[in-house]
Chains A and B, each alone.
Chain A
Amino acid sequence: MTAADVTLSQACGQAEDTVLAVEGLSIGFGSSPVDLVDDVSFRVGRGRTLAIVGESGCGKSITSLALMGLLPSPPARIAHRSARFLGRDPLTLGQRAFADLRGDRMAMIFQEPMTSLNPVFTVGQQIIEGVLRHKDVGWNEARARAVAMLARVRIAGAERRLGAYPHELSGGMRQRVMIAMALVNQPDLLIADEPTTALDVTIQAQILSLIEELQATTGTAVLLITHDLGVVAETAHDVIVMYAGRVVESGPVEALFSDPQHPYTIGLMGAMPSMGRREGRLLSIPGAVPPPSRFPAGCRFATRCPFADDRCHAQKPPMVEAGPGHAVRCWKAPLEEYLPS
């Protein structure tokens, strides 16, 4: 165990509260030698929300899909040092055993509410089949649970809405249905992959507070994927920041926002409107994420980092402690020493 691992487990509470812990998850595709997700580790505790932030294409979705067993492999190559979900390693389970977990102990909602529901079945049919798949209950009981769950996600006239088809509902309503579908069996882990990106701003806030509220009553651990730092600040307890498939910084929300250490995180903060400019620090991140084939051998952010030197380009930096539960993957940490004035 490295120092970084210790700080991670401290960050996310006691081990017995841990719902999901992953160490060294790497994902590549086909014969490409580059791991699009490289050495990702994190923990989520019961009742906690861990946010994964990072710009488009950094591997947030494939990370969560791999954890759900939804990433077809091949072509995906999924490797990991260890993973624990409720005392078992899900990534070594057989197809059937993994399917028994999905929709029961772990559930997922997706970015695209408009297309994530099956157009030819009613909302009720789609929720009820999930109950019947995992719970030893009759159709009437399954239906009653579906109605109760729809009411809990604040769908008015839940009983009546059971017979609605997806095309009869708005985007926000569909995402509520997705949440109801995901939570109806009271899972221990909810993975929400950008659940509000496709929705109107006012609806976004409603959906997020709905997830928070349901989490508070059920103790479900939430893995919230987003590229919106405002959302992170409002809903998450802990954050991991990903860049080009690697975790560059992780820790409690307060620590990351008050004292970001990685140049990329600092850049992100600068890009967040509510935070304002950070005088004397990075104002923006010039350049773009290189394609995977041109990732540097060392730090993957080196091509865009104003502090990068030869070592950054050549050697992969380790995760180092930057505070209690706060870790950063940067050769130049703590960064203050390298800043002018």
Chain B
Amino acid sequence: MLSFVLRRLAVMAPTLVLVSMLVFSLQKLLPGDPVLAMAGEDRDPAVIAQLRERYGFNDPVPVQYLHWARQVAHGDLGMSLRTHQTVAALLAEKLPPTIELAILSLLVALVVGIPAGIASAVRKGTMTDHVANVVALSGLSIPHFWLGILLILLFSVTLRWLPAVGYVPFAGDPAGNLIAMIMPAVVVGGGLAAVLMRHTRSAMLGVLNSDYVRTARAKGLLFRAVILRHAFRNALFPIVTMSTLLFGELLGGAVLTEQVFTIPGFGKLMVDAVFNRDYAVVQGVVLCVAAAFLLLNLAADVVYMLINPRLRRPR
């Protein structure tokens, strides 16, 4: 197992290098000049030339890349051209809310989506199934931001149960932080629950017709053992895949939801950086998300090994 993880980590390094090259060169192809954006209204040619020189924009692109890559390798992701904070500091500041929202949303999605998927597969064609499918379809088609606004109107404005907006850091006030995260997590997690429910349903339907489920029933096992132990354990593989993908997507930031609930997260950071042509920040964010994706995939593979004996001990 350990050697498997180490081998996978070794393979990840070239992938990251490739991503970094891609990110860097795409930046260079984008229209717009960051120095102009920085120089402000008056655009004094002397200032512009000075800025170009200072940030190394006059060097050939490969040189610029190598220069940047060496810094990144030393943990220095550069400075935001805009806020003059280090990119590392920006990431450290914006990452926690996004990770928290991602984890909470995924929890909501798992807790709601999986039982709903199992129930609708087991009761295929009945009222339970139809209701679950209609709810899931609505969950998929209602835009997040709109659902967010509806929830704010209901729970914050009308009922006054939950704060409307405002992110509270977890470290300062854990309870307040969690209360503030309830609605965003429900909004994002609800949509994901719909996706997970559909995947769980189809995975369970495939498994419920299998020969080994028939064997389990032939043993006289009771309904719950047949469904949860024998069927669900085998339906788990596509569910793990799906959850990993969804979680990875969440790490990129739920832009609109962060906007609606004013969560200072990754999504907002990224959008602002792109609009401001804040190259260093965009590169930092993309690299960070790419690394997270790779790590997530590794985690998923480890989970596969744990739940699938065929991978653990190939014949």
Q: Write the residues of chain A forming the contact surface with B, with a CB cutoff of 8 angstroms.
A: 68, 70, 95-96, 99-104, 107-108, 110, 112, 115-122, 129-130, 133-134, 165, 167-168, 178, 181-182
Given contacts A119-B212, A119-B309, A120-B233, contact A70 B315 (CB under 8 A): no
A220 and B313 CA atoms in complex are apart in Å by: 37
Q: What's the minimum C-beta distance from B206 to chain A, rounded to whole angstroms?
A: 13
- Residues of A contacting B212 with CB < 8 Å? 115-119
Closest to A122 in B: B309
Closest to B207 in A: A118
Contact of B220 among A119, A122, A134, A165 (CB under 8 A): A134
26 pairs across A/B with beta carbons < 8 Å?
A: A68-B218, A70-B217, A102-B220, A103-B218, A103-B219, A103-B220, A107-B218, A110-B211, A110-B215, A110-B218, A115-B211, A115-B212, A116-B211, A117-B215, A118-B233, A119-B309, A120-B233, A120-B309, A129-B219, A129-B221, A133-B219, A133-B220, A134-B220, A165-B313, A167-B315, A181-B219
A104 and B220 CA atoms in complex are apart in Å by: 7
A178 and B214 CA atoms in complex are apart in Å by: 12
Q: Is B58 an interface residue (CB 8 A)?
A: no
Closest 5 interchain pairs by CB? A103-B220, A102-B220, A103-B219, A118-B212, A115-B211
A99 and B234 CA atoms in complex are apart in Å by: 22
Given contacts A165-B309, A165-B310, A167-B315, contact A119 B219 (CB under 8 A): no
- Residues of B contacting A112 with CB < 8 Å? 211
Closest to B230 in A: A118
Closest to A96 in B: B222
A107 and B230 CA atoms in complex are apart in Å by: 18
Other A-B contacts than A108-B218, A118-B215, 8 sampled, CB-CB below 8 A, are: A101-B220, A116-B211, A118-B233, A119-B234, A129-B221, A165-B310, A165-B313, A178-B215
Per-residue CB proximity of B214-240 to A under 8 Å, as 1/0?
111111111101000010011000000
- Residues of A contacting B310 with CB < 8 Å? 119, 165, 167
A121 and B309 CA atoms in complex are apart in Å by: 8
Q: What's the minimum C-beta distance from A209 to chain B, rounded to whole angstroms?
A: 23
A104 and B221 CA atoms in complex are apart in Å by: 10
Q: Which of B190-226 contact A (CB under 8 A)?
A: 210-212, 214-223, 225
Q: Is B154 an interface residue (CB 8 A)?
A: no
Given contacts A119-B309, A120-B234, A120-B308, contact A103 B221 (CB under 8 A): yes
Q: Is B153 an interface residue (CB 8 A)?
A: no
A115 and B210 CA atoms in complex are apart in Å by: 8
- Residues of B contacting A120 with CB < 8 Å? 233-234, 307-309
Q: What's the minimum C-beta distance from A251 to chain B, rounded to whole angstroms?
A: 29
- Residues of A contacting B233 with CB < 8 Å? 118, 120-121
A168 and B313 CA atoms in complex are apart in Å by: 8
Q: What's the minimum C-beta distance from B186 to chain A, rounded to whole angstroms?
A: 33
- Residues of B contacting A119 with CB < 8 Å? 212, 234, 308-310
- Residues of A contacting B308 with CB < 8 Å? 119-120
Closest to B231 in A: A118
- Residues of A contacting B211 with CB < 8 Å? 110, 112, 115-116
Q: What's the minimum C-beta distance from A285 to chain B, rounded to whole angstroms?
A: 31
- Residues of B contacting A100 with CB < 8 Å? 220
With most chain B CB atoms within 10 A of its CB, the pick from A68, A101, A103 is A103
- Residues of A contacting B210 with CB < 8 Å? 115
Q: How large is the interface on B (under 10, 10 to 19, 20 to 34, 35 or more residues)?
A: 20 to 34
Closest to B213 in A: A118
A95 and B220 CA atoms in complex are apart in Å by: 10
A226 and B72 CA atoms in complex are apart in Å by: 70
Q: What's the minimum C-beta distance from A107 to chain B, rounded to whole angstroms?
A: 7
Closest to B309 in A: A165
A99 and B214 CA atoms in complex are apart in Å by: 12
Given contacts A118-B234, A120-B233, A165-B313, contact A99 B222 (CB under 8 A): yes
Q: What's the minimum C-beta distance from A100 to chain B, rounded to whole angstroms?
A: 6
Report yes or no: A110 in contact with B217, Cβ–Cβ below 8 A: no
Q: What's the minimum C-beta distance from B312 to chain A, rounded to whole angstroms?
A: 8
Per-residue CB proximity of B277-313 to A under 8 Å, as 1/0?
0000000000000000000000000000001111001
A224 and B121 CA atoms in complex are apart in Å by: 33
- Residues of B contacting A181 with CB < 8 Å? 215, 219
Given contacts A119-B310, A165-B310, A168-B313, contact A102 B215 (CB under 8 A): no
Closest to B233 in A: A120
Closest to A101 in B: B220
Q: What's the minimum C-beta distance from B149 to chain A, rounded to whole angstroms?
A: 44
Closest to B312 in A: A165
A95 and B214 CA atoms in complex are apart in Å by: 15
Closest to B219 in A: A103
Report yes or no: B313 in contact with A116, Cβ–Cβ below 8 A: no
Closest to B214 in A: A70
Closest to B221 in A: A133
Q: What's the minimum C-beta distance from A29 to chain B, rounded to whole angstroms?
A: 15
- Residues of B contacting A165 with CB < 8 Å? 309-310, 313
A115 and B313 CA atoms in complex are apart in Å by: 18
Closest to A110 in B: B211
Given contacts A100-B220, A101-B220, contact A116 B315 (CB under 8 A): no
Q: What's the minimum C-beta distance from A30 to chain B, rounded to whole angstroms?
A: 12
With most chain A CB atoms within 10 A of its CB, the pick from B212, B217, B230 is B212
Report yes or no: B315 in contact with A168, Cβ–Cβ below 8 A: yes
A182 and B216 CA atoms in complex are apart in Å by: 11
- Residues of A contacting B218 with CB < 8 Å? 68, 70, 102-103, 107-108, 110, 182
Report yes or no: B219 in contact with A102, Cβ–Cβ below 8 A: yes
A191 and B125 CA atoms in complex are apart in Å by: 31
- Residues of B contacting A108 with CB < 8 Å? 218
A19 and B310 CA atoms in complex are apart in Å by: 41
Closest to B215 in A: A116
With most chain A CB atoms within 10 A of its CB, the pick from B212, B215, B217 is B215
A118 and B310 CA atoms in complex are apart in Å by: 12
Closest to A100 in B: B220
